Amino acid sequence: MAPVTERGEEMYALVERLYPLCRSITGDGVRATLDIVGEYIPLHVHEVPTGTQVLDWTVPQEWNIRDAYIADTAGNRVVDFAASSLHVLGYSVPVAKTMPLSELRAHLHTLPDHPSWVPYRTSYYKPDWGFCLTQETLDAMPDGEYEVRIDSTLADGHLTYAEHVVPGQVADEVIVSCHVCHPSLANDNMAGVAVATFLARALAEETPYYTYRFIFAPGTIGAITWLARNAERVERVKHGLVLACAGDPGALTYKQSRRGDAEIDRVLRHVLAASERPHRVVEFTPYGYDERQYCSPGFNLGVGSLTRTPYAGYPEYHTSADNLDFVSPEAMADTFAVCREAFAVLDRNRRYLNLSPYGEPQLGRRGLYDALGGRSDTKQAQMAMLWVLNLSDGEHSLLDVAERSGLPFDTVADAAGVLHEAGLIKT
């Protein structure tokens, strides 16, 4: 894993700021989250009205919450939303009543196998209400009457999402998507949001080849809304990556696109293998994060998913144990570094055509061997030029060259740059 870097510490600090907010698929928590992200990168925020048809879905009513608690007869708050946004079932309708524990139990959610953890539960599309608490708290609640209050609203409003675009040399796009709908869960997905934010900042400091579009949207319904509103331009999306669970201590996991052989799949496989990091590459399944929306058969975009421990793959997933102690600057810095490496390969991966394909062109008289003088990998660089010349037939990419030759991609790309400047190859 990468050492702690200043950027890793900055990403962790952003997670610390975002962690306490109560987010859901709509509402002021999402807006507050985007306001904070907007301090780091400029955002174009979109508000989509309730009732808007988005593919086979409809934008739901907006949910907001101000307070919620369960209090005993002495007025002590046994469960308090102010202590953690996980304590309320997401999208709970308003409640104000007194009831016995025997009746209240049907609305309480715990984790008996982890009695000190609070679960994360939602009821987005079925009107309901409830509380999430530790099993230890429930076990300590005596029978009797309890005051139950959820001060929330569920009314027509908007679904909110945001985009940040880093202009490239071409209009073809790489999308980076992360979900902003989970409440106080640090790894899923504030770490993903933080890594995406700092990737956008880093890319803005250069002029990448592709245009990079960062999408900060609620899970599922947000990605579906983005696709519905951008259906006429998704053909520009050449590559994509869904970022989630970017800060836990596990090894990196890359989930391939539905295609399985998309360029982003090949690039991530290559980068992870070349880095010698512990990692896994897994096949696409139509379950997980928003890659399943981008990879739905009508769109079939080349979008994979990068996580550390994947969806539902760690005990702390969707519980209060997914907290600030569960994520680290080191892990986020490592995820960030792999993304940077992958995007660098994407941006430099070209197909070239050898302009002197009959026999090997004389490199010495063109001073090309001298151009490589002083490099620690001079022999590799010379071999890279020969490989690039041989495979520059308009069909093989530089990634093909690197994989076939066993040479580092950067060495191959540098060789291609030298040959291009010398007029021996063209794109």
Task: Report how far residue 76's alpha carbon sits from residue 403's, in angstroms, rounded to the nearest whole number.
Answer: 65
Task: Report how far residue 262's alpha carbon sits from residue 359's, in angstroms, rounded to the nearest whole number.
Answer: 33
- The answer to whether residue 1 scores a pLDDT higher than 80 is no
Give residue 365's pLDDT band: very low, low, confident or very high (50, 70, 90).
confident
- The answer to whether residue 374 scores a pLDDT higher than 60 is no
Question: Quick one: pLDDT at residue 364?
Answer: 82
> 175: part of which helix (H) or strand (E)?
strand 173-179
pLDDT mean over 22-46: 98
Q: Who contacts 16 (Cβ-Cβ below 8 Å, separation ≥6)?
A: 324
Task: Report how far residue 249's alpha carbon sits from residue 71's, in angstroms, rounded to the nearest whole number.
Answer: 38
Question: Quick one: pLDDT at residue 230?
Answer: 97
* CATH code of the domain made up of 6-60+158-348: 3.40.630.10
Task: Report how far residue 365's alpha carbon sits from residue 89's, in angstroms, rounded to the nearest whole number.
Answer: 74
Closest by CA to 132, choosing from 76, 90, 176, is: 90
Does the bond joining 189 to the residue before it have cis omega, within 30 degrees of 0?
yes
* Residue written as token pair 């900042």: 201
Question: Quick one: pLDDT at residue 3?
Answer: 53
Q: Who contacts 211 (Cβ-Cβ below 8 Å, separation ≥6)?
A: 165, 166, 167, 168, 170, 171, 172, 173, 174, 236
Instruction: Output 375-379 pairs: Cβ under 8 A, ≥24 positions apart.
Output: 377/408, 377/411
User: What pLDDT digit, counting tens, does each position of 228-276 carry?
Assistant: 999 999 999 999 999 999 999 999 999 999 999 999 999 999 999 999 9
pLDDT mean over 413-425: 95
User: What pLDDT digit, counting tens, does each position of 75-114 carry?
Assistant: 999 999 999 999 999 999 999 999 999 999 999 999 999 9
Domain 62-155 class?
alpha beta
Query: Backbone phi, then psi, for 362, in 5-degree steps?
Result: -80, 110
Q: Is 66 exposed, middle or buried (0-12, 13-18, 19+ CB in 10 A)?
A: exposed
User: What pLDDT digit, counting tens, does each position of 266-325 carry?
Assistant: 999 999 999 999 999 999 999 999 999 999 999 999 999 999 999 999 999 999 999 999
Query: Backbone phi, then psi, for 281, in 5-degree steps?
Result: -120, 125
Q: Alpha helices, DSSP H only, in 319-377?
A: 329-348, 368-371
Cα of 138 vs its chain's centroid, Å: 35
Question: Quick one: pLDDT at residue 379?
Answer: 84
CA dihedral 11, 17, 22, 28 (to 10 degrees): -100
Question: Quick one: pLDDT at residue 264?
Answer: 98
Task: Report how far residue 414's alpha carbon sits from residue 333's, in angstroms, rounded to the nearest whole number.
Answer: 26
- The answer to whether residue 350 scores a pLDDT higher than 70 is yes
Domain borders along the chain are 6-60+158-348, 62-155, 351-426
Report the relative pairing of strands 173-179 and 211-217 from DSSP bridges. parallel
Give residue 366's pLDDT band: very low, low, confident or very high (50, 70, 90).
confident
Q: Please answer whether residues 212 and 176 qualify as being in contact, where contact means their C-beta atoms are separated by less than 8 angstroms.
A: yes
Question: Quick one: pLDDT at residue 376?
Answer: 62
Question: To the nearest whole percent, how much of the chain has pLDDT over 90?
Answer: 94
* CATH code of the domain made up of 351-426: 1.10.10.10
3-state secondary structure of 260: coil
> 414: part of which helix (H) or strand (E)?
helix 409-421
Average pLDDT in the chain: 96
Query: Where do the DSSP E strands lie in 55-111?
Result: 57-58, 62-71, 77-80, 95-100, 108-109
Give residue 5's pLDDT band: very low, low, confident or very high (50, 70, 90).
confident
CA dihedral 55, 61, 64, 69 (to 10 degrees): -110
- The answer to whether residue 372 scores a pLDDT higher than 60 is no
Q: Is 278 exposed, middle or buried (0-12, 13-18, 19+ CB in 10 A)?
A: exposed
Task: Report how far residue 400's alpha carbon sits from residue 302's, in angstroms, rounded to the nearest whole number.
Answer: 18
Q: Which region holds residue 411: left if phi is over 0, alpha if psi is between -120 and 50, else beta?
A: alpha
Report the relative pairing of strands 173-179 and 237-243 from DSSP bridges. parallel
Give residue 378's pLDDT band: very low, low, confident or very high (50, 70, 90).
confident
* Residue written as token pair 């949207």: 217
Distances (CA, A) of 349 to 100, 120, 263: 66, 42, 9
Question: Quick one: pLDDT at residue 308?
Answer: 98
User: What pLDDT digit, counting tens, does each position of 50-71 carry?
Assistant: 999 999 999 999 999 999 999 9
Give residue 405's pLDDT band: very low, low, confident or very high (50, 70, 90).
very high
Closest by CA to 402, choosing from 212, 267, 213, is: 267
